[in-house]
Structure 1
Amino acid sequence: MTMARRRLAFEGHNPTLGEVIKQSYVLAYRENVDPLVAALEAEKFNPTVLRPVYSEEEQTYSRNVRTFMNHHNAWLRAAEHDGFTLICEGDCVPCLRLASFPTFWPSDDPVAWGYLYQGSPRILALVGPEKYLRCHTSPLVAYVINARVAKVMCEWFDAEMAARDPKDYFSFDALLQWSVMGRGCHAFMPMKHYGEHGGRANPEHRAHGMARAGEHRADNLAGPLHFLPQYCDGSRRAYVFARVKERLYGLARLATNRWMVRTNVYPYGISDRLEMAAVGLKRLLF
């Protein structure tokens, strides 16, 4: 254990991602994911690229369902591992020194998992004395699960695939969290994004009337990135513009009361709303 990690343990801080993540999977089809793999290797996350081979029938499935199947492939593998597994889609761009970032979920919760990146994040509650951010978000660009959560996700996959026509468009990532939460699991997020969604919009989203879906970006990053996102086309100016634009979107979400979601599980009094609003402002301004 490094001196920095010894100090964190002595001070009672959360373990780092590098201490709890045992392996990682990169979900891809035909795209080049070499920069992402190199970044995960540099962070010592032991990455494996999962590229599906679809049957003739599976080729007729909607693009989103085929992505769903690739996530399921990663969940099956994660269910067989000890510790936590990091799962990244091919357009993820992680922050530098990601392995040194602290975990952001309660370590005593065996069914907690975490979104390293969140699209249009919403907060459900501040949990425990540490004020962990219990959240709702949709994109599965980068997230961390343990074996128990992975098994629950696999059960949900089986139920959904049995109930749906796989040729139909199915926004599985928007439904996943509520469904897995309904099975007893709890999702959390860090104060700032631990990475960026570097890809471009999925045309299937737009074809089904979801105007900005797929164009989501991080509203505030926890640190510099390993490499420029694809959407920048190599332009540092485009990257800076995206950072400013997404910060403004985040502030607009907070100002229009889309940052908090009321549930029947947690208290939602005036003091709770004020505290959650203060956290929402803090994560965008500092």
Structure 2
Amino acid sequence: MSRPKPGTHQELLECIGQTLIVAYKEPTEQLTQALSQAGCDCTVLRQVHQPGYETYSPSFLCLLNHCEAWKQALQSDRPTLVVEADFVPVKNFSELPPPFDPSDAEMGIAWLYTCAAQIYSVSNLSQDAKAVRESASKKSQKVAQGYSTAMVAYVITAKSAAALLELAAQIERSPGPRAYSAWDSGIEYFLREAGFHNYVPFRNYGEHGGLPNPEHRQNKLSKAHRADVLYGKLAFAPMYAYEDDQISGWNWWKVRTYARIKGLGRLLLRKYLRAEVVRKSSRGKALIRFAIARHLTL
């Protein structure tokens, strides 16, 4: 896979190739339009029902949908952006920097939307000598490696896609297609053990706009998850903002406010940045600055 030279990319869209939207029956017109206007080369992968699927758990059917995206990512020599149909990007999506180091040959997954995120390390983007001279008066961009669950929006490479397909095969064997599996919660661990570097964004590049997942409630998990901090205003209204087919400003404000409060709570309770990580890091102060600074926005 071809890799960009250090310091030559400043925007996410310069660092990716194809954009794949995984969907079942959800409408994708607004999402496709927003991402296309941002400059993404979009393809919708809509799951086709097959005999036997009626016996599969919703979580496994979701995994199968992502597997189709991973198979396509295998064929690309550039990183692939994968988003679910209920992702709502921010308006300034096209202007945002990559949340990963584009020159990192071991990049596994870079989340653009996070859930239950943790950061392990913070570093400056790799830069060549010329880029350092040209940006001497500017603050260097920092990227964080860490953990997240939820596969609402993320970037992978052909190499990491192959590893993810191996993980999917393991899940198919055990616990099997009929059982509920929180497979997305184990992706970071799996890739890290395989030697990949996994990145979480400074702020979220969009929102999970979908309605609560009944399967999560049945398995005693949070019924819904939202972005704690966004990079900007959303390109269009998420599904949860609607009431009786009309946009409800109250619903929208209520959900976003709760998400912000929950995010601040995770910071204060040391769930986003664990005390043990700070103690063991040689860049503890940089980790703390990163964790706090991301909340200093509207």
**1:114 and 2:114 are equivalent in the alignment:** no
Contact 2:87/2:209, CA 8 A, preserved across alignment: yes
Determine what percentage of the aligned residue pairs are the same residue: 30
TM-score w.r.t. length of structure 2? 0.85
Superposition CA RMSD, Å: 2.2
Alignment match, 1:204:
215
Quote the Cα distance in structure 2 between the aligned partners of 1:46 and 1:272: 38
Shift of residue 236, structure 1, vs aligned partner: 2.7
Contact 1:117/1:194, CA 8 A, preserved across alignment: yes
Quote the Cα distance in structure 1 between the aligned partners of 2:101 and 2:273: 20
Contact 1:251/1:281, CA 8 A, preserved across alignment: no
Q: 2:156 aligns with which of 136, 145, 160?
A: 145
Contact 1:124/1:262, CA 8 A, preserved across alignment: no
Alignment match, 1:183:
194
Quote the Cα distance in structure 2 between the aligned partners of 1:262 and 1:179: 23
Structure 1 stretch 75-84 or stretch 42-51: which is displaced more?
A: 42-51
Q: 1:154 aligns with which of 158, 165, 173?
A: 165
Q: Which runs of 5+ in 1 are unaligned?
A: 1-11
Q: Deviations over 1:166-186 (max 9, x none)?
A: 101011111112112111111
Shift of residue 54, structure 1, vs aligned partner: 2.7
Shift of residue 209, structure 1, vs aligned partner: 1.1
Q: 1:251 to 1:162 in 2, by over 3 A?
A: same
Question: Where does 1:3-152 land on structure 2 (aligned, <5 Å)?
Answer: 12=7, 14-112=9-107, 113-128=109-124, 131-152=142-163
Equivalent residues, number: 273
Amino acid at match of 2:152: V
Shift of residue 224, structure 1, vs aligned partner: 1.3
Q: 1:257 to 1:159 in 2, by over 3 A?
A: same
Structure 1 stretch 239-248 or stretch 272-281: which is displaced more?
A: 272-281
Structure 1 stretch 41-50 or stretch 85-94: which is displaced more?
A: 41-50
Alignment match, 1:219:
228
Shift of residue 273, structure 1, vs aligned partner: 4.1
Contact 2:84/2:152, CA 8 A, preserved across alignment: yes
What's the secondary structure of 1:121's corresponding residue? strand
Alignment match, 2:130:
none
Alignment match, 1:237:
250
Q: Deviations over 1:122-154 (max 9, x none)?
A: 111113575421120101000011211111111
Shift of residue 261, structure 1, vs aligned partner: 4.5
Quote the Cα distance in structure 2 between the aligned partners of 1:244 and 1:271: 34
What's the secondary structure of 1:222's corresponding residue? coil
Quote the Cα distance in structure 1 between the aligned partners of 2:142 and 2:233: 25
Structure 1 stretch 67-76 or stretch 19-28: which is displaced more?
A: 19-28
Quote the Cα distance in structure 1 between the aligned partners of 2:73 and 2:8: 26
State the structure with bigger RCO (CA 8 A, min sep 6), 1 or 2: 2
Alignment match, 2:268:
255
Quote the Cα distance in structure 1 between the aligned partners of 2:182 and 2:281: 34
**1:167 and 2:163 are equivalent in the alignment:** no
TM-score w.r.t. length of structure 1? 0.88
Q: 1:271 to 1:209 in 2, by over 3 A?
A: same
Alignment match, 1:279:
290
Shift of residue 272, structure 1, vs aligned partner: 4.1
Amino acid at match of 1:127: S
**1:246 and 2:246 are equivalent in the alignment:** no
Shift of residue 119, structure 1, vs aligned partner: 1.1
Quote the Cα distance in structure 2 between the aligned partners of 1:169 and 1:107: 35
